Amino acid sequence: MMPFARKPRVAFFDFACCEGCQLSILELDEKLFDLLAHVEVVAWREVMSEISEEYDIAFCEGSITRQQDIERIKTIRDKAEIVVSLGTCASISCHNALKNKWAMNELLALVYSEYGEHIDTIPARPIADVVNVDYQILGCPVSLPEFETVFKRILTRQAYTPSNQPVCVECKRNDILCVHEKGMVCLGPVTRCGCNAICTAFGDACRGCRGLIDDANLEAPVRALFGEKLHPIMAEVARNNRLTGKEIIARFSLYNNTGRVGKGEESSDGTA
Residues pairing with 176 in the sheet: none
Closest to ligand SF4 by CB, 116 or 183: 183
Helix locations, 37-155, DSSP H: 67-79, 88-92, 104-112, 144-155
In angstroms, give the least distance from the CB of 211 to ligand SF4. 8
Among 188, 218, 251, 256, binds ligand SF4 (CB under 6 A): 188
- Give whichever of 57 and 92 is closer to ligand SF4, judged by the CB atom: 92
Here's the x/- map for ligand SF4, 146-185, by CB under 6 A: it reads as ---------------------xx--x----x-xxx-----
Burial annotation 150-165 (CB, 10 A radius, 16+ → b, else e): bbeebbeeeebebbee
Query: What is the footprint of ligand SF4 within residues 50-89 (CB under 6 A)?
Result: 61, 87-89
- Residue span binding ligand SF4 (CB under 6 A) among the ranges 17-25, 37-45, 109-117, 244-252: 17-25
Residues 196-255 that bind ligand SF4 (CB under 6 A): 197-200, 206-210
SS3 54: coil
**Whole-angstrom distance, CA of residue 61 vs CA of residue 88:** 8
Phi, psi of 48 (to 5 degrees): -150, 155
Please choose, from the candidates 159, 181, 165, 141, the residue with its C-alpha nearest in 3D space to the C-alpha of residue 61: 141
Task: Provide the binding-site residues for ligand SF4, judged by CB under 6 A.
Answer: 17-21, 61, 87-89, 94, 139-141, 167-168, 171, 176, 178-180, 186, 188-189, 191, 195, 197-200, 206-210
